[in-house]
């Protein structure tokens, strides 16, 4: 797989996880996904931050212990042209700037935000580092999902801040979801992957899926006050990955289930971060 070298503004580009015991974090994900690590912080830093690598390409980062303002689970970052301008735009539309914008040496600038319902989302203004080099492959990041108590209000916020459009449809019978799209993203991907739209059509992907950047799921009942983002990782075999995660100390959140396009499960790693393990299964598989 060719390494990603750029992301358009408005497209999720990076993810990281900060936990109390970073050594334990590294060990769990190395055993689950086969990751290796490249530490980016000096030995005397108050926390460690290491790029996670798969086949020599970055897939995200892990580190710890957490500092003030750090999200408690996996954090998603959206590529932006200006971290300062985007942070100001988020605040003007009901969001909160939790930390930053700050520079990370020559790599880029970042900030941590909360949307109007309290869900954490990061922004990344790229410098030398554009984002994850490997995505959508087994052992790497596949999608991020917003869980919102008010999908219409959330759609309006993310449209104002990132320019996302939002479509409502049924992912599987009785399961209503929303698809966030960044107009023009499909054309950007087609520049380096001219057959992407043909593959999506053959797999009966939903209309507009070539511009897809994230999912949104509704919250109701007792969960309405828990707006948050989660992450999905691709796996080659959902059953094997699920049982491997449990054997390494993860806790089952949602047992293995099937949708029109995937077989998946949700687990919490040994320090409590939730993640979805998803095996892509096209309709004719």
What are φ and ψ of residue 109, in 5° steps?
Answer: -125, 145
Per-residue pLDDT at 202: 59
What confidence tens digit (pLDDT) does each residue in 28-65 have? Answer: 999 999 999 999 999 999 999 999 999 999 999 999 99
Per-residue pLDDT at 282: 74
Per-residue pLDDT at 164: 98
Neighbouring C-beta atoms of residue 170, cutoff 10 Å: 11
Long-range contacts from 34-41, C-beta under 8 angstroms, 24+ separation: 34/139, 35/59, 35/139, 37/62
Residues 26/62, Cβ–Cβ less than 8 Å:
yes
Determine which helix (DSSP H) or strand (DSSP E) holds 108, and give its type and residue range. Answer: strand 108-114
User: How far is C-alpha 216 from the chain's CA centre?
Assistant: 12
Q: Give yes or no for residue 224 having a pLDDT over 90.
A: no
**Domain 141-280 of CATH type 3.10.180.10:** yes
Per-residue pLDDT at 254: 96
Q: What is the pTM assigned to this prediction?
A: 0.94
- Decide which of 203 and 14 is more confident: 14
Residues 122/74, Cβ–Cβ less than 8 Å:
no
Q: Give yes or no for residue 182 having a pLDDT over 70.
A: yes
| Most distant CA pair in the chain, distance | 54
Residues 39/63, Cβ–Cβ less than 8 Å:
no
Per-residue pLDDT, averaged over 19-28, amounts to 97
What confidence tens digit (pLDDT) does each residue in 68-95 have? Answer: 878 889 999 999 999 999 999 999 999 9
Fold match between domain 12-126 and domain 141-280: yes
| Domains of the chain, residue spans | 12-126, 141-280
Per-residue pLDDT, averaged over 174-197, amounts to 81
Q: Which superfamily does CATH assign the domain made up of 12-126 to?
A: 2,3-Dihydroxybiphenyl 1,2-Dioxygenase, domain 1 (3.10.180.10)
């Amino acid at each position: 797989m060719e390494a990603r070298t750029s992301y358009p503004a408005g497209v999720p580009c990076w993810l990281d996880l900060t936990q109390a015991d970073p050594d334990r974090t590294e060990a769990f994900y190395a055993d689950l996904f086969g990751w290796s690590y490249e530490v980016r912080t000096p030995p005397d830093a108050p926390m460690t931050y290491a790029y996670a690598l798969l086949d020599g390409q970055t897939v995200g980062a892990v580190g710890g212990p957490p500092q003030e303002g750090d999200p408690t689970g996996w954090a998603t970052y959206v590529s932006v042209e200006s971290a300062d301008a985007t942070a100001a735009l988020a605040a003007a539309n009901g969001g909160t700037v939790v930390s930053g914008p700050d520079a990370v040496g020559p790599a880029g600038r970042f900030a941590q935000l909360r949307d109007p319902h309290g869900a954490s989302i990061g922004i990344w203004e790229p410098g030398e580092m554009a984002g994850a080099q490997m995505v959508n492959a087994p052992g790497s990041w596949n999608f991020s999902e917003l869980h919102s108590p008010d999908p219409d209000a959330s759609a309006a916020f993310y449209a104002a801040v990132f320019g996302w459009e939002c479509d409502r449809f049924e992912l599987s019978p009785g399961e209503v979801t929303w698809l966030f799209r960044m107009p023009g993203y499909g054309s950007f991907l087609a520049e380096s992957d001219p057959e992407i739209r043909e593959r999506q059509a053959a797999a009966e992907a939903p209309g507009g899926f070539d511009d897809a950047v994230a999912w949104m799921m509704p919250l109701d009942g007792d969960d309405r006050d828990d707006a948050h983002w989660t992450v999905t990782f691709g796996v080659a075999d959902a059953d094997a990955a699920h049982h491997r995660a449990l054997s390494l100390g993860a806790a089952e959140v949602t047992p293995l289930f099937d949708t029109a396009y995937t077989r998946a499960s949700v687990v919490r790693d040994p320090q409590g971060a939730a993640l979805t393990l998803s095996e892509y299964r096209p309709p004719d598989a």
